[in-house]
Amino acid sequence: MPLPLAFTGAALDRADQVRVDPRALAAAAADPRATCLVLDGIDFVPGEGGGLSWRSLDPADDRALLLLGIDDTGAPRFVREAPVGARVDARSRTVMRMLPLLSPEEAALYGGARSLVDWHARHRFCAVCGQPTALFRGGWGRRCGACNAEHFPRVDPVVIMLAEFEDRVLVGRQPGFPPGFFSALAGFVEPGESLEEAVARELFEEAGIRVSDVRYVASQPWPFPSSLMIGCRAVARDTALTLDTTEIEAAMWVDRGDVRAALSGGMDAPFVAPPPLAIARYLLEAWLAL
Amino acid sequence: MPLPLAFTGAALDRADQVRVDPRALAAAAADPRATCLVLDGIDFVPGEGGGLSWRSLDPADDRALLLLGIDDTGAPRFVREAPVGARVDARSRTVMRMLPLLSPEEAALYGGARSLVDWHARHRFCAVCGQPTALFRGGWGRRCGACNAEHFPRVDPVVIMLAEFEDRVLVGRQPGFPPGFFSALAGFVEPGESLEEAVARELFEEAGIRVSDVRYVASQPWPFPSSLMIGCRAVARDTALTLDTTEIEAAMWVDRGDVRAALSGGMDAPFVAPPPLAIARYLLEAWLAL
């Protein structure tokens, strides 16, 4: 079976009862065991041993505290809102290179913290009326000071899928991908459609293929900035491709030998496979294991 | 097998190539076959035959047009932004009562349109900087006139699940439910977790039970205002319940006979089952069919 998915497996109790209880929240912030995740903007700062860095809470820091949760020793873990004006960026190449420094549990915890801090940095104003918002619920929401509208962190569902035809699957590349790199096709789920409908629509829009028998495979949070990747497979009616070249510059049907070669990273592989972080690699591994 | 899920099966090509092409979009709006969905705020207005109402485009109406898609005759279908100040409401009891007037295809089309119009009405300002936004991409995004930030319609993934223990499943009721009504437990997916982790967290938070073997069952868009319901099942470790009574006022394990009685609406059923619109009913039917 494939390896566990990156950004899953955070070993923290999210403690939603604490978030909604101002007294419990104040007690958590006053707990001498409480620590705060050290970030540079929304990127993590590696500790001496290579993992995440944590500091005790600095009472002189007036940025709001967001409660990440309670660890298995009972210690509260926080992160602070980014400073106003800090650079937040949908995907930092630097942080992608540093992620292998983290254990799976740390990467999952960091991924959730990154999405949350990023969301606050981009939601300081009320989308309903334009006035400033302030965080509440220990950082799991913002409320407008003028119209009282409540806003909650976004999670954007994305379908990512392998179309199958007989003993082959479809992989494609977007214009910005590194040379030779091919992956599963993907796209955001839109209002008014099920996951299965989103899979069928995206495969038709991007590659011109019609599918049936959409099956769910696995899911993964993807904190760039706040996607929920929902991995599926589907059976194609035929193999003729009509590419939307603004989205997909090339696509091809690959067989099990091709996929095995790509996953093992051989020089003669017909494509460069997605990295272990990506659910696309998991989908390829799961298909080989069928 | 259970019936198809409500709000799925819209028979409209979403035509994303038209959305992103201003000339194609202008041509669609000028097409004499183009029609516009009639709404009262975000509620539909039943036509004479009971279905949705459509009108030809009124050039005197200066509200922005959102492209819903192209129907199977090639005719463009639009809906207009709600008037500024129109009442939009997360759930209208009136529209829930009127939904049976619609065919499944119409309900799906209306659901997507409702979510989209509602999103525009609540996103007239930029969450990043507080300045006014204007729609682009035929209504599938908004852009800030001041900072250029782009914003896209929200789809909020929600897990809804049946915990199973031997030959029973867990149903619960929220404080606001109608008398006797029990349903599957549910909750929003948070940043930094997979669907499987969200299922396990929600069942532990709300009912105090630990689960494993989370399986995906089906999904459904739920336009009140913009949820994507992701139906799952999971195996409980035991049956002891610890309820979070702010979320769940009662919960109980029910067997196949109980579920059959509830689904058939018998007077002696131990609970009132979710209506056919709801994926919770689908989950109960799918479990009975296992």
The interface predicted TM-score of the complex, written ipTM, equals 0.96
- Hey, is the C-beta of B111 within 8 angstroms of any chain A C-beta? yes
**Are residues B180 and B96 part of one domain?**
no
Tell me the backbone φ, ψ of residue B263, rounded to 5 degrees. Answer: -65, -30
Assess if residue A84 is contained within a domain.
yes
Q: What value, to the nearest 5°, has the Cα angle with vertex B14 and ends B11 and B20?
A: 170
Instruction: State yes or no: cis peptide before A4, omega within 30 of 0.
Output: no
Amino acid occupying residue A247: E
Let me know whether B160 and B108 are in one domain. Answer: no
Of B108, B128, B191, the CB nearest to A112: B191
Answer yes or no: do A103 and A216 share one domain.
Answer: no
d(CA A219, CA A217): 7
Residue A105 lies inside a defined structural domain of this protein? yes
pLDDT score at A282: 97
Q: Is A194 inside any structural domain?
A: yes
Candidate from B153, B216, B246 with C-beta closest to A216: B216
In whole numbers, what is the pLDDT of chain A averaged over residues?
95
Q: Are residues A164 and A109 in the same domain?
A: no
Same domain, B108 and B222: no
Mean pLDDT, range B111-128, rounded to an integer: 97
How confident is the model at residue A100, as a pLDDT? 87
pLDDT at A196 over 80: yes
Domain of A233: which CATH number? 3.90.79.10
In a domain, A186, yes or no: yes
**Number of folded domains in chain B?**
2
CB contact under 8 A, B194 and A129: no
Q: What residue type is B63 in one-letter code?
A: R
Which carries the bigger pLDDT value, residue B260 or residue B100?
A: B260
Distance from CA of B132 to the nearest CA of A (A): 7
User: Is residue A93 included in any domain, yes or no?
Assistant: yes
Considering the domain architecture, whether residues B102 and B168 belong to the same structural domain is answered as no
B245 interfacial to chain A (CB closer than 8 Å): no
Is B127 inside any structural domain? no
The proportion of chain A whose per-residue pLDDT surpasses 70, expressed as a percent, equals 98
Query: Which of B66, B152, B190 is the best substitution to test chain A (most A C-beta atoms within 10 A)?
Result: B190
**Does residue A127 have a pLDDT over 70?**
yes
pLDDT score recorded for residue A93: 72
Q: Within a 10 A sphere around the Cβ of A90, how many other Cβ atoms?
A: 11
Which whole number is the average pLDDT over A199-220? 98
Instruction: Say if residue B177 is in the same domain as residue B273.
Output: yes
Residue B3 above 90 pLDDT? no
Mean pLDDT across chain B? 95
Residues B280 and B179 in one domain: yes
**Per-residue model confidence (pLDDT) at position B149:** 96
Residue B218's pLDDT is 98
Taking CB atoms and an 8 Å cutoff, what residues of chain A touch B112? 190-193
Closest by Cβ to B194, choosing from A14, A109, A221 = A221
Instruction: Tell whether A197 lies on the interface with B, counting CB pairs under 8 A.
Output: yes
Q: Following DSSP, what letter does each residue of chain A receive, concatenated?
A: -PPPPTT-----B--HHHHT-HHHHHHHHH-TT-EEE-EETTEE---TTSS--EEE--TT--SPEEEEEE-TTS-EEEEEPPPTT----S--HHHHHHGGGS-HHHHHHHHHHHHHHHHHHT-SB-TTT--BEEEEGGGTEEEETTT--EE----EEEEEEEEEETTEEEEEE-TTSPTTB-B-EEEEPPTT--HHHHHHHHHHHHH---EEEEEEEEEEEETTTTEEEEEEEEEES-------TTT-SEEEEEEHHHHHHHHHT-TT-SSBPPPTTSHHHHHHHHHHT-
Mean pLDDT, to the nearest integer, of B15-20? Answer: 95
Rounded Cα distance between B278 and B183, Å, is 9
Higher pLDDT, B202 or A268: B202
Does residue B168 register a pLDDT over 80? Answer: yes
* Whether residue A75 is found in the same domain as residue A174: no
Assess whether pLDDT exceeds 60 at residue A3. yes
Which residues of chain A lie closer than 8 angstroms to B16, CB-CB? 205
If you average pLDDT over residues A213-232, what whole number do you get? Answer: 97
Range of the domain at B168: 156-288
pLDDT-derived band at A207 (thresholds 50, 70, 90) equals: very high
A166-195: per-residue pLDDT in tens?
Answer: 999 999 999 999 999 999 999 999 999 999
A264 inside domain: yes
Residues B269, B262 contacting (CB under 8 angstroms): yes
Q: Do A113 and A160 share a structural domain?
A: no
Shortest Cα–Cα distance, B49 to chain A (Å): 24
pLDDT, average across residues A116-127: 97
Q: Of the residues A121, A141, A170, which one is the last residue of a structural domain? A: A121
Picking from B9, B151, B155, the nearest residue to A189 by CB comes out as B155
Please indicate, yes or no, whether residues B168 and B282 belong to a single structural domain of this protein. Answer: yes
Convert the pLDDT of each residue in B70-93 to its tens digit.
999 999 999 999 998 877 765 667
If one counts every other C-beta atom within 10 angstroms of the C-beta of residue A73, the result is 6
Euclidean distance between CA atoms B114 and B39, whole angstroms: 9
Same structural domain for residues B165 and B262?
yes
Q: Which of B89, B115, B141 is the last residue of a domain?
A: B115
pTM higher than the cut 0.80: yes
> For the segment B204-219, what is each residue's pLDDT rounded down to a tens digit?
999 999 999 999 999 9
Report pLDDT for B150: 97
Residue B46 has pLDDT above 60, yes or no: yes
Alpha helices in chain B (DSSP H): 16-19, 22-30, 93-98, 104-121, 195-207, 256-264, 279-288
Continuous segment of H or E residues that includes residue B185: strand B185-188
